[in-house]
Amino acid sequence: MAIPKSVANGMISGVVGEVSHFGPLRATSAVLDSADEKKNLFGLAYTYKDASVESVQPGGNGTFAGIMINPKAYRIETEYARNGTQGEFLTMGEVYVEVSESASAINMPVVFNADGELTAKATLDAGDKAIGFVSRHVGSAETPHLCLVRLTEIPYPTPAPTGDA
């Protein structure tokens, strides 16, 4: 075996929906109840659909429930989790996710859309709900959109007002 002469460039490790390392962690459990169960994917942002029974859906306009984690803990025959099953949702910690565009800087706010897909944004627009921040991202040919996101249970920050208010 030859001695390595170079270091791998890029973040090529990590499974979407897996917690990256042990540290402060807070997660909750809830029942999946989405309009299309094929969208019940790990690493997406979920909101409460009905808080009285603690059911969640990917994306949506409700209260943020967390990012669905622990894909290896489920015995599923499909790429998605079925409605009516219980999932785990991270609200504090660091998790591997896939962002829709390549994050360009550490500490960029991460927001989600109506489908629960995550995006890292340099500046927040009015109405954006930042759920966390980019903790680590080194784009590579293998995983250009794999990103490590830090959730700290902060309230949704809003952009600073500009001009005369």
Count up the domains in the chain and report the number.
Answer: 1
Q: Is the pTM of this model over 0.75?
A: yes
Instruction: Spell 102-131 as b/e; 16+ CB within 10 A means b.
Output: ebeeeebbbbbeeebbbebbeebeeebbbb
| pLDDT, greater one: 63 or 8 | 63
Range of the domain at 73: 26-152
Is 20 a member of any domain? no
Which CATH number covers residue 132? Answer: 2.40.300.10
Is 159 a member of any domain? no
Mean pLDDT for 133-146 is: 75
Sign of CA dihedral 150, 153, 154, 155: positive
**Separation between Cα atoms, residue 117 and residue 8, nearest integer Å:** 28
Is 80 a member of any domain? yes
pLDDT digits 0-9 by tens, 108-139: 899 999 999 999 888 888 888 889 998 887 66
Name the residue type at position 7: V
Contact between 21 and 95 (Cβ < 8 Å):
no
Is 84 a member of any domain? yes
pLDDT digits 0-9 by tens, 60-104: 888 899 999 999 888 778 889 999 999 999 999 999 999 887 667
Mean pLDDT for 17-35 is: 91
Is 21 a member of any domain? no
Is 163 a member of any domain? no
Give, in order, the Cα–Cα distances in Å from 138 to each of 14, 127, 145.
12, 28, 9
pLDDT computed for residue 160 by the predictor: 45
Is 10 a member of any domain? no
Is 160 a member of any domain? no
pLDDT computed for residue 83 by the predictor: 93
Q: Count Cβ atoms within 10 A of the Cβ of residue 9 and give its class: 0-12 exposed, 13-18 middle, 19 or more buried.
A: exposed
**Separation between Cα atoms, residue 45 and residue 57, nearest integer Å:** 9
Contact between 50 and 33 (Cβ < 8 Å):
yes
